[in-house]
Amino acid sequence: MVAALALFFALPASGEWTATAPPPFEGWPVRTSEGYLWVDDTQPKKAFIFADDSLGRWIYLSRDLQISIERLTGRYEKRDVVWYMADIRFRDGQGFRAYPADPKRPSRAQEKPETIARNNQVVYAQNGDLFSFRVYNKKRVGLIIRNGKVLYEKTYTHAVSVIPPLDELALFPDGHMEMRTPGEYSAQDYLDAGALDVLAFGPILFQNRVKDERLEMSFTHREPRSAIGVMGPGHFIGIMVEGRNKRSAGAPLRFVADRLLEAGCHEAFTLDGGQTAAMLFMGNNVTSPGIYNGYQKARKQQDILGIGRWE
Statement: residue 8 has pLDDT above 60: no
pLDDT band at 296 (very low <50, low <70, confident <90, very high): confident
Q: What is the pLDDT of residues 166-224, one digit of tens each?
A: 999 999 999 999 999 999 999 999 999 999 999 999 999 999 999 999 999 889 999 99
What would you report as the CA-atom Rg of the chain, rounded to the nearest whole angstrom?
Answer: 18
Any domain includes 203: yes
Domains identified in the chain, total number = 1
Statement: residue 259 has pLDDT above 50: yes
Statement: residue 162 has pLDDT above 50: yes
Any domain includes 44: no
166 has which bridge partners? none
Read off the pTM: 0.93
Statement: residue 304 has pLDDT above 90: yes
Any domain includes 74: yes
Any domain includes 270: yes
Amino acid at 80: D
Q: What is the pLDDT of residues 83-119, one digit of tens each?
A: 999 999 999 999 999 999 999 999 999 999 999 999 9
Of 124, 125, 132, the C-alpha closest to 106 is 132
Per DSSP, the three-state class of 116 is helix
The mean pLDDT of 252-263, rounded to a whole number, is 97
Any domain includes 48: no
Predicted confidence at residue 12, as pLDDT, reads: 45
Predicted confidence at residue 43, as pLDDT, reads: 64
Predicted confidence at residue 294, as pLDDT, reads: 74
Supply the range of the domain harboring residue 98.
64-309
Any domain includes 189: yes
Per-residue DSSP letters for 252-292? -HHHHHHHHHHHT-SEEEEE--GGG--EEETTEE-S-PPEE
Q: What is the pLDDT of residues 29-67, one digit of tens each?
A: 999 999 999 988 666 678 999 999 999 999 999 999 999
Any domain includes 53: no
Main-chain dihedrals φ then ψ at residue 5, nearest 5 degrees:
-65, -15
Any domain includes 31: no
Torsion of CA 30, 84, 256, 75, to 10 degrees: -120
Q: What is the mean pLDDT of the chain?
A: 93
